Amino acid sequence: MKTQLLVMLEMQDAMNARVNPDWRQAGNAWYRAIWTECAEMLDHYGWKWWKHQQPDLEQVRLELVDILHFAMSDYLLQDIDNDVVAARIEAELSDPRQSADIRSAIEIMAQSTITQQSMHFSDFANIMALIEMDFDQLYRTYVGKNVLNFFRQDHGYKDGSYIKIWAGREDNEHLVEVLGNLDSNSPSFREDVYQGLSNRYPG
């Protein structure tokens, strides 16, 4: 797990630097991005009692991976040694908070993140368990989403020219299909994800 965490931390640092080379001095409110993503995750799972809703677990998992991007960015600012950061995350993931209801678990993580202005990975691990997402799946999806974020930047995300809806569906949905057809253990996994997105992109 630690080896994969180190890979993800390096990828996150690279993505942040792509958006802003001085991201470490930018003062971004990572915690605010986390709790707003919690609300999106809750919407994908469903909470409205006045209408029929079917949990979309694939989108819930993608929202959790989005949160991972922001949480790792926050932790990268708290220690300059990635080995220390990876060990801290691994320890917190190994001690999940115990909450049996996913809606409550999401709210607990959001509330704690707002109060502490930082997310704790024990809350994150609790949600992983409730949606039956193991670490290998988290790693695979993180790498995919990181590649998608680079793809977005390469195709005009920052200047507003990027096309997010492809053939009537969001790019996240296409990413899920692309990942389903690839081997995450392949040395060319990242490149294969990028090529898979390129083959579908309408621009």
HSE-CB for 46 with a 13 A CA cutoff:
10
Using an 8 Å Cβ cutoff, are 64 and 79 in contact?
Answer: no
Residue 59: which pLDDT band, with cuts at 50, 70 and 90?
confident
In this predicted structure, the answer to whether residue 75 has a pLDDT above a threshold of 90 is yes
Assess whether 83 and 30 both reside in one domain. Answer: yes
Assess whether 45 and 140 both reside in one domain. Answer: no
Assess whether 145 and 185 both reside in one domain. Answer: yes
- Domain around 199: 134-203
Quote the pLDDT of residue 169. 92
In this predicted structure, the answer to whether residue 87 has a pLDDT above a threshold of 90 is yes
Question: Which among 56, 61, 116, 60 is positioned nearest to 92, based on CA atoms?
Answer: 116
Across 8-34, average pLDDT: 95
In this predicted structure, the answer to whether residue 123 has a pLDDT above a threshold of 90 is yes
Residue 50: which pLDDT band, with cuts at 50, 70 and 90?
very high
3-state class (DSSP) for residue 166: strand
- pLDDT, tens only, 135-158: 999 999 999 999 999 999 999 998
Assess whether 121 and 153 both reside in one domain. Answer: no
Assess whether 92 and 182 both reside in one domain. Answer: no
Assess whether 174 and 118 both reside in one domain. Answer: no
Assess whether 86 and 140 both reside in one domain. Answer: no
- pLDDT, tens only, 167-178: 999 998 899 899
User: How far apart are the C-alpha atoms of 106 and 88, rounded to whole Å?
Assistant: 21
Query: What's the predicted TM-score (pTM) here?
Result: 0.86
Assess whether 123 and 143 both reside in one domain. Answer: no
Q: Angle, nearest 10°, between helix axes 30-45 and 57-78?
A: 170
| Residue 19 belongs to domain with CATH number | 1.10.4010.10
HSE-CB for 142 with a 13 A CA cutoff:
25
Assess whether 173 and 109 both reside in one domain. Answer: no
Of 131, 156, 183, the one marking the end of a domain is: 131
Using an 8 Å Cβ cutoff, are 106 and 41 in contact?
Answer: yes
Quote the pLDDT of residue 148. 94
Of 92, 107, 131, the one marking the end of a domain is: 131
Assess whether 56 and 139 both reside in one domain. Answer: no
Assess whether 29 and 63 both reside in one domain. Answer: yes
In this predicted structure, the answer to whether residue 10 has a pLDDT above a threshold of 90 is yes
Across 30-36, average pLDDT: 98
Residue 48: which pLDDT band, with cuts at 50, 70 and 90?
very high
Quote the pLDDT of residue 127. 97
Number of domains observed in the structure of the chain:
2
User: How far apart are the C-alpha atoms of 67 and 123, rounded to whole Å?
Assistant: 12
Quote the pLDDT of residue 146. 92
Quote the pLDDT of residue 184. 84
Average confidence score pLDDT of the chain:
94
Assess whether 141 and 118 both reside in one domain. Answer: no
Of 131, 158, 176, the one marking the end of a domain is: 131
